[in-house]
Structure 1
Amino acid sequence: MTVTSTLTEKLNLQKEKLTPDAPHLDLNDLVKAASRVIAPLWPIATFAARNPWMGFEGQTFEQTARWLKDTRDVEIYPCASLIHAAQKRGEVDEDFLEMALQRWLDVQSVDLPLGVAERFCRAALKLDELPSVLLESPELKILAEKLSALMPQNPEKHPLKPLSLCLEEQSGEKVAHALDHHMIKWCKLFLDESQAAWSLPNREEGFYRAWRRLIQYDPALSYTQRQRLKDWPQEAETALKKALSALKIPQSEMRDYLEAHLLALPGWAGMMLWRSQQSTQESSLLTEYLAVRISMEWILIKPHLPLLKQKSEEQLSLVPLIAAWIHWGDMTMEAWEKLSVLEQKARLTLARRFDETVRRRLWLEAWEQTYTDQLMKMISSKKRESDQKKRALAQFAFCIDVRSEPFRRKLEKAGPFETYGMAGFFGLPIMTCELGSKHAHSSLPVILKPQYQVKESSPEFELKSYQQRRQTVNSFGYMFKMMKQNLLASLLLPEVSGPLLCLQMLGRSLVPRSAGQMIRKLRKAWLRKPSTELSLNRENHLETELPIGFSEEEKVHFVRQALKMMGLTNHFAPLVVICGHGSHSTNNPYAAALDCGACGGASGGFNARVLAALCNLPKIREILATEGILIPEDTVFVAAEHITTLDELRFIYVPELSDAAQAAFQQIQTLLPKVSQDANAERLSQLPSLGFRSKDPRVEAQRFAEDWSEVRPEWGLARNAAFIIGHRRLTQECNLEGRVFLHSYDWQKDQDGTLLSNIIAGPVTVAQWINLQYYASTVAPHYYGSGNKATQTVTGGLGVMQGNASDLLSGLPWQSVMRSDQEVYHAPLRLLVVIQAPQEYVERLMDHDPAFHRKVQNGWLRLASIDPEGHWKIWS
């Protein structure tokens, strides 16, 4: 159980006992518990997939859907248009919908004939809206008034709203809008990543104190409003407590009130939450954010206090319930009045229970079950190869990313090759530092922390020359930025840079592929990066927080772990290629999102090179041989990078090869152009385009990657739907359409279940985050997406906004999930995890991993398994 969920449960127990005069409860604890409603948001330069509902996994998906609907009017089940489109494409088998309906009816207790209930529910499942003419009918309202005594008071508590929003709803005065505008301004100033010419004064003192010093001079506030904050507390927690007290928020409702404010701007709040988790110096940043926000709310609404109280209960409206029976139950108002009181009440009860949330849930479950059934039939229908086979010419270890699947499939058909899948950081918890750079960056999933640092190095005389050339390039960029921000220099800048930038613009627009290649070649020719070595051996550097390189024991551990995780511990080919993955696009704020959805925009090439180099060390092989992992002398490990935008494999580390490895390498080089062409042809056929300019898929892919006006250089991980943990033989003959994460696994080599537990805890968790981010950006793009890429504003080096005063948008742009304004591309299905192992392995996993069990039980992902005889079991 996570710290947040534990704290939430603790506060839930205390919350019922609290009164306005109850003993003091630590506000920092309240803030931590309230933060469950938002998710950390990384800067867009280190974009990482995020599960927007990670704090809700202790409750069911449906409970969360209802809470968000009541709290923010956000629907997280697919809407009718998405469902109807999927139905038209044949993605929903209505037999599964009928089965889901029958399961729902079986657990209902309604005094109605089964046939009557079924006919009503089937009609309601068409998801057509109730006619507005019917809902506005005076006769219907009169009838509903007569029947009002049949339904009890609504027992559900209304969600607590910020008082600024209540005032806005009562008077029409845009107070909540003004509050958001103020908060966006202050957040941009504080969080700016050195993009602004002038930085926020006193920023080093923290968000609240910087705001507290400057708010007295804010021209956007009136003199009276500024005076109200003249003697405001110096500390954030004290200020937050005072603001809540001034607004008369009871302690029993404080957490709900804080949650409501965090949900108002979940992007900016999420960025504050992320920052608070990065260092102890900013650990109270979210408390400071709420202190600023609720203090601002108080000064804005003080003249209007006290407000009219929110109603905690209200009579459930019968108009839509009766209208539902008239529209879907084929009844008339006259027929209603002829029914007995018990019959009327039973019909109203069924209509209330079978609401829109339930109807959408049943459709989603049928959609998901249809995909599961199709996947089962595909896998079960393919013949499996015998375990007895010839030694492969080459073996490739790819990242589990869904974009690797089509390339792996084409590669396996091209020659005697085997492919494996594992997480693309290859189990190396490292921070990397490239040659000539003074800054290191993490190269592992964002849910983990780096434990080691690996640097590139070269001879001193070559390094010094390279650094000078690199500094020259960086200096030009810095000078250009400074001139733009300087009043006088900015007047001269267009005259100086205009001709060159005009040529670049014309080239990028008219011949993007040629222009991009030329610019890249010029940069490469100027920099002339020398050959480098990696700091694999442990170095003692007191000035670094992380150890540089590895000890001998650590080298063996990471090689052993990687080979076991990918299932490659025997039958080694002469050539083993460790394939990281990255992407390439131009003028794309979301470039990091296309590199690796797990690793904060870090490509896997560096990690692939480190692992390949470790695997080639003779001493490591000697130790592994004593453990039963025998790597033949003629087997050589090399490293490559799969560029997903171009579907090509670039070799980045090729040591001296044995004769057998050299032969394999030459054959791969011969076959790769055709593999790349076929993979691009399949991928490009899915991308919407006004028409290809070239018949060669590789040329067209290069144009997509280099065109700075291209809003969709690739689909990324759109349409991801499943995660299969098993041997490649299980899926080798299947066209999975680039929708499946493929992780190699051999249960026979995992007697204690450790490997399976590690896969579930790491790669599956990250894949679930990716899946739910795409899901959320599709079903609720206005709240969890980021709008149209063409109208986005990149702000402060942090992320994107729509316009200059919106929330910091946390999700994916609609170009990542929509084929057009009218047609969706991503199928919003919750991730299906398929485990190839005996049933007892899965049972043991569920017993030992309560967090995973909870996700399955509460509907955050789905689980199936395949036993050694090929029999499937659906666990959820």
Structure 2
Amino acid sequence: MASDTCTLTQAQHSAIQTACQQLAPSWPLDQMIAVSPYWPMRHERIEQVSARLSALAGISMLMPESDYLDWYRRGLISPQALRTALAESGLGLNVDELIQTIEQSEEKLPWQSLSALLDEHRARHKMAWRDEIIHQISQFCAAHFQQAQPMLHREHSQAQPDLYAHWLVVSQRDRGLSIVLDEPDLHRYFKQLPDDPNALIAQALSTFGVQDEQVELYAHALLLDIGGWGAWVAYLRWQGELNGEPHDQMLDLLAIRMAWELVLWRYQQAHFPTFFTTLEHAWKQSLGRLQNLPAQHQTQQKPLWVWARAAELSYQQQLHHALSSPVNTSAHPIQCQAAFCIDVRSEIYRRALEAQSDGVQTMGFAGFFGLPLSYQPQQADVNRPQCPGLLLPSLVATHAQSDKHGAASLNAQARWQGFSKSATASFSMVESAGWLDTFKLLKKAFFASEQAHPVDKLANRQDWSLTQNGEELSARQKAELAAGVLHAMGFEQFAPTVLLVGHGSHSTNNLQEAGLGCGACGGQSGEVNVKVLAWLLNDKAVRTELQALGVEIPEQTRFIAALHNTTTDHLRCYGEQPGTEIMSWLQSATAAAQKERAAKLDEQLADADREALDQALIARSQDWSQTRPEWGLANNAAFIVTPRSWTRGIDLQGRSFLHDYQWQHDPDFKVLETIMTAPMLVTHWINMQYNASTTDNLHFGSGNKVLHNAVGGNIGVFEGNGGDLRTGLAMQSLHNGHDWMHQVQRLSVYLAAPKSAIKEITARHDVVKQLIDNEWLYVFQWQETGEISRFYQQRWWPVSAAQISQDEEQKIVQCL
């Protein structure tokens, strides 16, 4: 092994640390939530990040030119919106000139690493250097991070070795690399690498002649090359920080990727000295272009950003027209209240339910219902978070009476699955015991029925226990928790029947099923949360304490937990059932919601009768070969924070997150602050995940779902049997085979609150300010009169509805 004589300078170390913070986390499959892959770069303007990623790795944050032109010709981009976007851009082009510029533009190529330069001269019969590098690192990481039993707590007799140290030992012993690559003696060069990752990076930077001002971009480019595993390492870092146990391995991952570059440099220098002279010259030229390349890509992308902005304006103008009418606040006696998750899929069902009767009031709130808990069945080793990934659970929910048989069964099932998924046991398990699953396979194939998650099966009991730091909550503490939830949800009065509706999804043979679950519940069903909240609010002791806190719940009011299956639009109530009339409303709402979604799922379902459609949707959810059981949150576009009465009756097309809020009942604006710093960030994450997986599925999506193979139990998926770890959404979650089901645009947020409160909250939170001022999302204030204003750069700009004159258009342009 080589001597660790090289050390990083302070400037180099700082640049490396900055680069190592640029990758966003990706959650494991069983907790799969949507994440903005650009999150660590939110402090920069979105156009700069787009250009940087394009320059360093060929990543696209924009749709192809042809798609924008197609949208324009189909009317999805209006001429008026395009003119406004052009005027804002300052490019000095008219519409015809812009179209000509787009049609004649040439793709700007990304920067090339040393291995990429070598591949240009690689013999066709040999494996590409970059392909083998990614494959070798990826296979190693899969083995290193394998967590075959992700939900079980296990004691490790020995601490896991550091990532770089482990990789170095494996690589130095792996003579197969020389054979696979047909490069004799290649493996010997790994023995020359230093033991310390910092020393390795210092050696590489010195050898390659990377200047201090180039270090951050160079390091970032190499990390993007193995970005899937970078996202997993970022997740481990995120979790460590949440738990107060920081452990960052990103520098180790960078050192591994950089080590390959150093090995190739030295190998070429020793074995092919003549070619190396050419290579060295090409490398110096490539490195010399690195620093200026992002600016060049930003210039080239300017016309595309005009089209992107025009697409967003077209949607906003249509929505503003729908929202511009003065609000109808006429009241009706309320027979049933139903609180749903803010999820865009709830909007369709809520609209359908409200259409059944004026006596129905629906509400929107984050799907974990304000309970930052984890669920742990008694005597089971499972502890499953049921709250947003931004939070650490502070409460543990379990059952007052244990189900020993169910818990033992779950433990056995988890251990068996862990054994069967492990790399060493999978083949022997199939040969020796695979026949035991024959009956299960036949039963699922020919006698399919809706199957609950094994953890959720244990949640059917009605009595619960809530603990914090191992101590059972008192009735007073439970009441304080419940009062906070009710206040945040905006309850002014209580109907005789209050439905607390979580949501979940059901599909079969789908490794990414959690991605269709409730993001606010950590990718799980919201069943546990609504059951716990209903139990709290129905408890007599809790209600007595609530009275002391000033919260009066009528004695006849009953809170009923329910679950909305977003795949079939069935709504199931638990425990006490609603009255016959309400059940009839729910059944009719299910049928209406199913009808509205049908054509998007399958054109053949559009004309199906009620019973046939219901059976077809159930069959889709149970079909092993069905890769598109539902569209999830595709086509999300807006987050509307207002009283529901303001949007009731408006067809928002299942594209809007709906959060109830009435600022008059929030005197200190603490609820508004929570909304702007939690649900608004979560909806932004969802929006950017869908955008990123659509614009660049190769880097921020997971490709073809049919080819998915689980990695390390629940870490993630490979597309096929190798390559980088795939993150994000599969193509089948975004595209129907003919057209995109998600139209890429930044989230438009509408807040019914005083301008001063919005401005003050933004000023207090850098994250919110960055998202707004760097144009990662739009924030609008919506007044009861229908007037809408945009908040940007700490100022307010008036916004008009779709029909505006040229003079008004110019006024908006000048403001923006």
TM-score over 0.5 for the alignment? yes
Q: Does the Cα contact within 8 Å between 1:453 and 1:549 map onto a contact in 2?
A: no
Q: In 2, are the aligned partners of 1:725 and 1:836 still within 8 Å (CA)?
A: yes
Matched to 1:183, the amino acid is I
Distance 2:208 2:157 in 1: 30
Report what 2:262 is aligned to. 298
CA–CA separation in structure 2 for the residues paired with 1:714 and 1:752: 40
* Corresponding position of 2:142: 188
Aligned residue in 1 for 2:96: 122
**Residue-by-residue CA offset, 1:40-73 (whole Å, 9 max, x unaligned):** 1111221011101112211211111222222222
Structure 2 CA distance, aligned partners of 1:548 and 1:693? 56
Q: How does 1:186-265 map to 2 (within 5 A)?
A: 186-194=140-148, 204-222=160-178, 224-230=185-191, 232-265=193-226
- Letter of the structure 2 residue corresponding to residue 577 of structure 1: L
Match of 1:816 in 2: 733
Does 2:30 correspond to 1:45?
yes
- CA–CA separation in structure 1 for the residues paired with 2:381 and 2:782: 49
**Counterpart of 1:806 in 2: which secondary structure?**
coil
Distance change >3 Å, CA 201–CA 295, structure 1 → 2:
farther
Quick one: distance in 1 between partners of 2:157 and 2:140? 12
State whether residues 36 and 54 of structure 1, in contact with CA within 8 Å, keep that contact through their aligned partners in structure 2: no
Correspondence for 1:665: 579
Name the aligned partner's letter for residue 617 of structure 1: D
Tell me the distance in 1 between the aligned counterparts of 2:441 and 2:658.
46
The whole-number CA distance in structure 2 between the counterparts of 1:122 and 1:394 is 55
Q: In structure 1, how many angstroms separate the alpha carbons of the residues matched to 2:423 and 2:170?
A: 28
Residues 386, 529 of structure 2: 8 Å contact kept:
yes
Matching residue of 2:470: 547
Give the C-alpha shift of residue 589 in structure 1.
1.0
**Paired letter, 1:255:** E
> 1:829 deviation in Å?
1.0
Distance 2:560 2:627 in 1: 34
Deviation at 1:473, TM superposition (A): 5.7
Q: Deviations over 1:664-712 (max 9, x none)?
A: 5332223322221111111122113566896322212111111111111
* Aligned length in residues: 753
Structure-2 separation of matches of 1:706 and 1:566: 35
Alignment correspondent of 1:535? 465
1:583 maps to which residue?
Answer: 505
Larger radius of gyration: 1
Cα offsets for 1:268-304 (capped at 9, x unmatched): 1111121233337771321222222222332233133
1:443 aligns to what? Answer: 386
Q: Which moved more, 1:57-66 or 1:219-228?
A: 219-228
* Residue matched to 2:797: none
State the partner residue of 1:807. Answer: 724
Give the C-alpha shift of residue 616 in structure 1. Answer: 2.4
Q: Is the 8 A contact 1:168 1:176 kept in 2?
A: yes
**Structure 1 CA distance, aligned partners of 2:327 and 2:35?**
38
Distance 1:484 1:239 in 2: 32
Q: Could you tell me whether the CA contact under 8 Å between 1:398 and 1:404 is conserved in 2?
A: yes
Q: Deviations over 1:535-571 (max 9, x none)?
A: 1366xxxxxxx43543445423321221121110x32
1:160–1:257 CA contact under 8 A, matched in 2: no
**Kindly tell me: are residues 412 and 127 of structure 1, through their superposed partners in 2, closer, same or farther at Cα, counting changes over 3 Å?**
farther
Report the CA distance between 1:480 and its aligned residue: 6.6
The 8 Å contact of residues 641 and 658 in structure 2, kept in 1 or not, is answered as yes
What TM-score results when the alignment is normalised by the length of structure 1? 0.79
Which residue is equivalent to 2:798?
none
Tell me the amino acid that sits aligned with residue 84 of structure 1.
Answer: L
Letter in 2 for 1:166: L
C-alpha deviation, 1:854, in angstroms: 2.2
Equivalent residue, structure 2, for 1:565: 488
- Shift in CA distance, 789/630, structure 1 to aligned 2, threshold 3 Å: same
Aligned CA distance change for structure 1 residues 164 and 616 (closer, same or farther; 3 Å): same
Q: Please give the secondary structure, in 2, of the residue aligned with 1:536.
A: strand
C-alpha RMSD of the superposition: 3.6
Q: Judging changes above 3 Å, is the alpha-carbon distance between structure 1 residues 729 and 499 closer, same or farther for their aligned structure 2 residues?
A: closer
2:111–2:286 Cα contact (<8 Å) kept:
no
- 8 Å CA contact 2:149–2:414 kept in 1: the answer is no
SS at structure 2 position matched to 1:278: helix
Indicate if the aligned counterparts of 1:786 and 1:811 stay in contact, CA closer than 8 A.
yes
In structure 2, the residue matched to 1:630 is: 552
CA contact (8 A) 1:640 1:651 kept: yes
User: What does the per-residue CA deviation read over 1:620-669, in whole Å, with 9 as the maximum and x for residues that have no partner?
Assistant: 43444344432112212221111111112212343xxxxxxx7x533222
- Map of 1:685 onto structure 2: 599
Q: Which runs of 5+ in 2 are unaligned?
A: 151-155, 179-183, 270-275, 793-816
Q: For structure 1, which runs of at least 5 residues remain unmatched after alignment?
A: 1-19, 109-116, 136-155, 318-351, 539-545, 655-661
- Pair 1:64 & 2:49 matched: yes
1:289–1:534 distance in 2 versus 1, CA, 3 Å: same
The answer as to whether partners of 1:22 and 1:251 remain within 8 angstroms in 2 is: no
Alignment check: 8 A CA contact 2:642 2:751 kept: yes
Correspondences of 1:28-177 after superposition (within 5 Å): 30-105=15-90, 118=93, 122-125=96-99, 129-130=103-104, 161-169=112-120, 174-177=128-131
State the alpha-carbon separation in 2 of the partners of residues 288 and 201 from structure 1: 23
* 1:503 paired residue number: 442
Partner of 2:680: 764
Cα 1:497–1:450, aligned 2, differ >3 Å: closer, same or farther?
closer
Separation in structure 1 between the aligned mates of residue 388 and residue 255 of structure 2, nearest angstrom: 32
- Cα pair 1:640 1:653 within 8 Å, conserved: no
The answer to whether residue 701 in structure 2 is matched with residue 716 in structure 1 is: no
Could you tell me whether the CA contact under 8 Å between 1:484 and 1:490 is conserved in 2? no
Farther off after superposition, 205-214 or 479-488 = 479-488
Give yes or no for the alignment of 1:359 onto 2:334. no
Q: Is the 8 A contact 1:431 1:442 kept in 2?
A: yes
Structure 1's 254 and 313: CA in aligned 2 closer, same or farther, altered over 3 A? closer
Equivalent residue, structure 2, for 1:793? 709
What is the percentage of aligned positions where both structures have the same residue?
Answer: 29
Alpha-carbon distance change, 552 to 490 in structure 1, aligned in 2, over 3 angstroms: closer
8 Å Cα contact 1:692/1:700 also seen in 2: no
Equivalent position to 1:773, from 689, 699, 708: 689
Match of 1:410 in 2: 352
Contact 2:7 2:199 in 1 (8 A): no
CA contact (8 A) 2:374 2:385 kept: yes
- Give the letter aligned to residue 124 of structure 1: L
Q: 1:590 to 1:848 in 2, by over 3 A?
A: same
Give the SS at the match of 1:710. Answer: coil
CA deviation string 1:338-390 (max 9, x = no partner): xxxxxxxxxxxxxx99965222111111111111111111123476132x432
Cα distance per residue 1:424-457 (max 9 Å; x no partner): 1111111111355211011100011111211124
1:639 counterpart letter in structure 2: A
Q: From 511, 516, 521, give the equivalent of 1:594.
A: 516
State the AA in 2 paired with 1:393. Answer: Q
User: CA 1:213–1:381 in 2, change beyond 3 Å: closer, same or farther?
Assistant: same
Q: Give, in whole Å, the separation in 1 of the partners of 2:223 and 2:52.
A: 15
* SS class of match (2:561): strand
Whichever residue aligns with residue 310 of structure 1, its letter is Q
Spell out, residue by residue over 1:101-133, the C-alpha distance to the aligned partner (whole angstroms, 9 max, x if none): 22333xx6xxxxxxxx545x633335653399x
CA distance in 2, matches of 1:528, 1:752: 40
1:146 aligns to what?
Answer: none
Give the distance between the partners of 1:377 and 1:486, measured in 2 at CA.
58
Displacement, 1:159?
7.9
User: Are 1:744 and 2:660 matched, yes or no?
Assistant: yes
Do the aligned partners of residues 587 and 752 (structure 1) sit closer, same or farther apart at CA in structure 2, a change above 3 Å counting? Answer: same
Q: CA deviation at 1:74?
A: 2.2
The answer to whether the Cα contact below 8 Å between 1:429 and 1:444 also exists between their aligned partners in 2 is yes
The aligned amino acid for 2:302 is: V
Assess if the C-alpha contact under 8 Å between 2:344 and 2:656 holds in 1.
yes
Question: Does the CA contact (< 8 Å) of 2:102 and 2:303 recur in 1?
Answer: no
| 1:287 corresponding residue in structure 2 | 251
Give the whole-Å Cα distance in 1 for the aligned partners of 2:544 and 2:440. 57
Alignment of 1:856-871 (within 5 A): 856-871=772-787
Deviation, 1:395, is: 0.9
Please name the residue that 1:650 is paired with.
572
